[in-house]
Structure 1
């Protein structure tokens, strides 16, 4: 679907689109409607994170948007220390408002790009990343971000990702993109499908799911698994075990 050789939107252009789209990302019941199974996938990942990292205290939400992913986790792990990262200040403001309404844990906000984020090593227990990593461009960026996730997590910590993915089999990839267009059309019509597919072409460079799992292992995560997949969207996670300190 996407052509990694064509010029992509700049960070400023992506930020401007999200600055103007806060309300659409602020409904916990419907989730991100342009993403297949977003409510189910984030719910499953929140349950997995709480089960696998039950003593978590500090959580980083990468590309937090209006805060839905963190809000799904907080009922399982209430009143934790939350770090919110997003390109969009209006998104951060809305996420902070919504999280403060249900949690008295501390909230730190960072307006910026995950590729430029610096955190102390072994300072986090859980990392969440929903519909954000597909903005990464090069192999080096993917490897650097996954390596940073591994460094930032304490042993026993975990990372949980829900995102747009591709397939390494061309025929299957084409089928899944066609299914996704059909899904978008059934949701809100052809114009909506054209709009979403247009900004995917402009902004996004998703990678195959299996490639991302391999990159997580290469970054040092010894335990990696898929929680849910539906077409070109997948939910998956990785654990930094005590013996994976590379």
Structure 2
């Protein structure tokens, strides 16, 4: 079995990749329907929380989701940005602060261990971050913390890589179909490069695993809002 990347290794990779993750026109090109989900999730949050006052973006990267969301709100939204990478946080704050009359704060580190205030946020955004969780205990601890951080009736909005429990379906949707997507995006070498770093860095779980676990830790409902190949977006309500 491949030894997975450490947090420091992940941090270093993202420290050196700020510009690529700052492009609202491309999003993360290697993800399926990146721009569609950027619009879908931010439209959904703006529709359900037009007067949003407290937003937490974990694994915020360069801030694309927060930037896009703030452009759709007229509220004085207070934003908390959390990420392993300080250069990513700096870029995210630089881009976000001019778009809100609320306070934009940054906190560096792993959201699982950060001293974030409980029952404080109406919305938490987690895009392309949960696949870095590892074993069952890690997933459950992380989901339980996210539940505690939300206000009553608050919600968690996720877009991420997912796995499939059936090995034949995993091979079909991930290796074949997603592999072809990556090849078409660039070439077979690029496909292999992406597959290699997913194998090294990521530990995705199935959407059924996640929805069951979200309910187990206390979320009252989960809605799948989009799925294409091995990428899914959903919202979970406290």
Does the pair score TM above 0.5? yes
Provide the residue aligned with 1:225 in structure 2. 223
- Contact 2:112–2:145 (Cα < 8 Å) also in 1: no
Displacement of 1:46: 1.3
Shift of 1:54: 3.3
Confirm or deny: 8 A CA contact 2:119 2:148 kept in the other structure.
yes
Instruction: Tell me which of 35, 58, 72 is aligned to 2:31.
Output: 35
The residue number in structure 1 matching 2:156 is 159
Tell me the distance in 1 between the aligned counterparts of 2:47 and 2:213. 24
User: Equivalents in 2 of 1:23, 1:217: separation in Å?
Assistant: 37
In structure 2, which of residues 58, 65, 68 is the aligned counterpart of residue 62 of structure 1? 58
RMSD over aligned Cα atoms? 1.2
Unaligned runs of 5+ in 2: none
**SS of 1:115 mapped into structure 2:** coil
Q: Which runs of 4+ in 1 moved over 3 A?
A: none
Q: What SS does structure 2 have at the residue aligned with 1:50?
A: helix
Give, in whole Å, the separation in 2 of the partners of 1:52 and 1:220. 21
Query: How far 1:63 moved relative to its partner?
Result: 0.4
Aligned to 2:198: 200
Alignment of structure 1 residues 1-246 onto 2, 5 Å = 5-78=1-74, 79-177=76-174, 178-240=176-238
Deviations 1:129-187 (A, max 9, x none): 01011000011111111111111111111110000001112111111112111111111
Query: For residues 136 and 7 of structure 1, what CA distance do their matches in structure 2 show?
Result: 14
Q: Does the 8 Å CA contact 2:122/2:154 hold for their aligned counterparts?
A: yes
With 172-181 and 71-80 compared, the bigger mean Cα shift is at 71-80
Gaps of 5+ in 1: 241-246
**TM-score, normalised via structure 2 length:** 0.95
Offset at 1:42? Answer: 2.1
Show CA shifts across 1:97-117 (max 9, x none): 111233332111011012212
